[in-house]
Chains A and B, each alone.
Chain A
Amino acid sequence: MSFDRPYTDIPGTTVFDADQMRRGYWLNQFCVSLMKPENRERFKADERAYLDEWQMSEEQKQAVIDRDLNRCVDLGGNIYFLSRIGATDGRSFQYMAASMSGVTQDDYAKMMREGGRSVEGNRSRNEKPRG
């Protein structure tokens, strides 16, 4: 692709741009389907069978089954769409965010109560350490 992507140096971040959208179209549309209660029930009853109804890659299906949201993002998932999986599981957004930052929900919640993740050192992978 030829368009400019000046945001790829932001650490721990995957901007949902046209490349990601193309990669993740069916994964995200699967997530949309979970807005209907009957689909949530069918998914919960047999995840694999429900996922097989979608034109998703095997990697995408496995990432959903593993609830590996970072992998889902790598494979084109967008977090607003992926949040439907957490909602279907009865999980809070904070639970999902903690799982993506690799800490427990308690530790993540504590970080947020203490003001959140600092931007210092998190602006760019090229950022020089301060101090």
Chain B
Amino acid sequence: MARVTAGVFTSHVPAIGVAVDLGKSAEPYWQPVFQGYEPSKAWLAANKPDVVVLVYNDHATAFSLDFVPTFAIGCADEFRPADEGWGPRPVPVVQGHPQLAAHIAQSVIQDDFDLTVVNRMDVDHGLTVPLSLMCGQPDAWPCRVIPLAVNVVLFPPPSGHRCYQLGKAIRKAVESYGEGLNVQVWGTGGMSHQLHGPRAGLINKEWDEAFLDRLIADPEGLSQVPHLEYMREAGAEGIELVMWLVARGAMGSAPARAVHRFYHVPASNTAVGHLVLENA
């Protein structure tokens, strides 16, 4: 059977993608950010998954205001990098895993999670920046990727608890898949940041660090944090962090072991947080 072997958690700041694409990653401003991911790149090379279920949010790219699915799973063969206003990122096309994706959809929908099935979708920086951070600039991404898009653009997004429970359902789905695949679940977005209005630039390091602590040791408790606290404490767009709970839920409830932890301010407007977790 397939297994969820690890969880990866990371911010997905668009400016990081720009820095990679323009060859700026060694510049003094960016070097500390990329340095923080070096151990994770080595870890990923040594623990290469067959498939990553990548939990991210679409930033008004594939989903305009015509359709706003709360949870959407990409079941296509491949997903192209989107043109977000300055041309598509020069990164490899993302290869999907339609069989496992369809299996997960079938399993979790029957488990009361009403996913939207998407068969055609371009993917934006929310999905490709985590791949760049973890894999660098390969000619092809090292594994297949199932995009799992979560609405965090239109309030309200799903609750942290709902995300956490979905993660558990995904774990169950993966474990009932016949083929022996090594699956990782990645949760992306955050950490504290606000991108709009006079409060833009808000960062709350204390809150972020406590979030990382609880994600490792007390995910059940963390999943009870209400939307209002995210928006007040971590910035209106910091609410993206609910997506990390999907990946954490996919690892089960027990305290996890942090293989790597990294936190840095700033990347453009945002606090960068990163964890690699394995089951203890």
Residues of A participating in the B interface, judged by any CB pair closer than 8 Å: 6-7, 10-18, 21, 25, 28-29, 31-32, 34-37, 40, 69-70, 73, 78-84, 86-88, 90, 92-94, 96-98, 100-102, 108, 111-113, 115-119, 122-124
In the complex, what's the smallest C-beta–C-beta distance from B189 to chain A, in angstroms?
12
B157-195 contact mask (Cβ, 8 Å, vs A): 1 or 0:
000000000000000000000000000000000001011
- Closest A residue to B87 by CB, please name it: A37
Residues from chain A with a CB closer than 8 A to the CB of B59 are 80, 83
- Closest A residue to B227 by CB, please name it: A7
- Alpha-carbon distance between A35 and B122 when the two chains are bound, in angstroms: 12
- Alpha-carbon distance between A122 and B198 when the two chains are bound, in angstroms: 10
In the complex, what's the smallest C-beta–C-beta distance from A14 to chain B, in angstroms?
6
Residues from chain B with a CB closer than 8 A to the CB of A117 are 194, 199-203
New contact pairs (17) apart from A11-B199, A14-B197, CB-CB < 8 Å: A7-B228, A11-B198, A12-B198, A15-B236, A17-B155, A29-B66, A31-B60, A35-B85, A70-B198, A83-B84, A83-B85, A84-B60, A100-B196, A116-B201, A119-B204, A119-B207, A122-B199
- Alpha-carbon distance between A17 and B154 when the two chains are bound, in angstroms: 6
Residues from chain B with a CB closer than 8 A to the CB of A7 are 155, 227-228, 231-232
- Alpha-carbon distance between A34 and B14 when the two chains are bound, in angstroms: 17
Flag whether B102 is at the interface (Cβ < 8 A).
Answer: no
In the complex, what's the smallest C-beta–C-beta distance from A75 to chain B, in angstroms?
13
**Given A101-B201, A116-B202, A78 and B60 contact (CB-CB distance below 8 Å):** yes
- Alpha-carbon distance between A34 and B85 when the two chains are bound, in angstroms: 6
Q: Select A13's contact among B61, B64, B231, B271, beta carbons within 8 Å.
A: B231
B58-69 contact mask (Cβ, 8 Å, vs A): 1 or 0:
011100111000
- Closest B residue to A103 by CB, please name it: B201
**Given A79-B237, A93-B268, A94-B15, A87 and B86 contact (CB-CB distance below 8 Å):** yes
Flag whether B153 is at the interface (Cβ < 8 A).
Answer: yes
**Given A28-B65, A32-B64, A84-B84, A116 and B203 contact (CB-CB distance below 8 Å):** yes
- Alpha-carbon distance between A16 and B153 when the two chains are bound, in angstroms: 7
Residues from chain A with a CB closer than 8 A to the CB of B61 are 35
How many pairs, one residue from A and one from B, have CB atoms within 8 Å of each other in the complex? 156
A-side interface mostly: helix
In the complex, what's the smallest C-beta–C-beta distance from A78 to chain B, in angstroms?
6
- Closest A residue to B13 by CB, please name it: A93
- Alpha-carbon distance between A69 and B205 when the two chains are bound, in angstroms: 27
Flag whether B117 is at the interface (Cβ < 8 A).
Answer: no
- For window 24-80 of chain B, which residues contact chain A by CB distance below 8 Å? 59-61, 64-66
Could you tell me if A84 and B199 are in contact, using CB atoms closer than 8 angstroms? no
Could you tell me if A32 and B200 are in contact, using CB atoms closer than 8 angstroms? no
B121-132 contact mask (Cβ, 8 Å, vs A): 1 or 0:
000000000000
Residues from chain B with a CB closer than 8 A to the CB of A17 are 154-156
Selected A-B contacts with CB under 8 Å, 13 pairs: A7-B155, A7-B232, A10-B199, A10-B231, A13-B194, A13-B231, A21-B65, A29-B66, A97-B196, A112-B203, A116-B203, A117-B203, A122-B199
- Sorted nearest first, the 6 A-B pairs with minimum C-beta distance are A116-B203, A87-B85, A12-B199, A12-B198, A79-B196, A112-B266
Residues from chain B with a CB closer than 8 A to the CB of A25 are 65
Could you tell me if A88 and B201 are in contact, using CB atoms closer than 8 angstroms? no
Residues from chain B with a CB closer than 8 A to the CB of A36 are 83
**Given A16-B154, A93-B15, A122-B199, A115 and B265 contact (CB-CB distance below 8 Å):** yes
Residues from chain B with a CB closer than 8 A to the CB of A35 are 61, 82-85
Could you tell me if A100 and B197 are in contact, using CB atoms closer than 8 angstroms? yes
- Closest B residue to A119 by CB, please name it: B204
Flag whether B95 is at the interface (Cβ < 8 A).
Answer: no
- Alpha-carbon distance between A70 and B86 when the two chains are bound, in angstroms: 22
Flag whether B253 is at the interface (Cβ < 8 A).
Answer: no
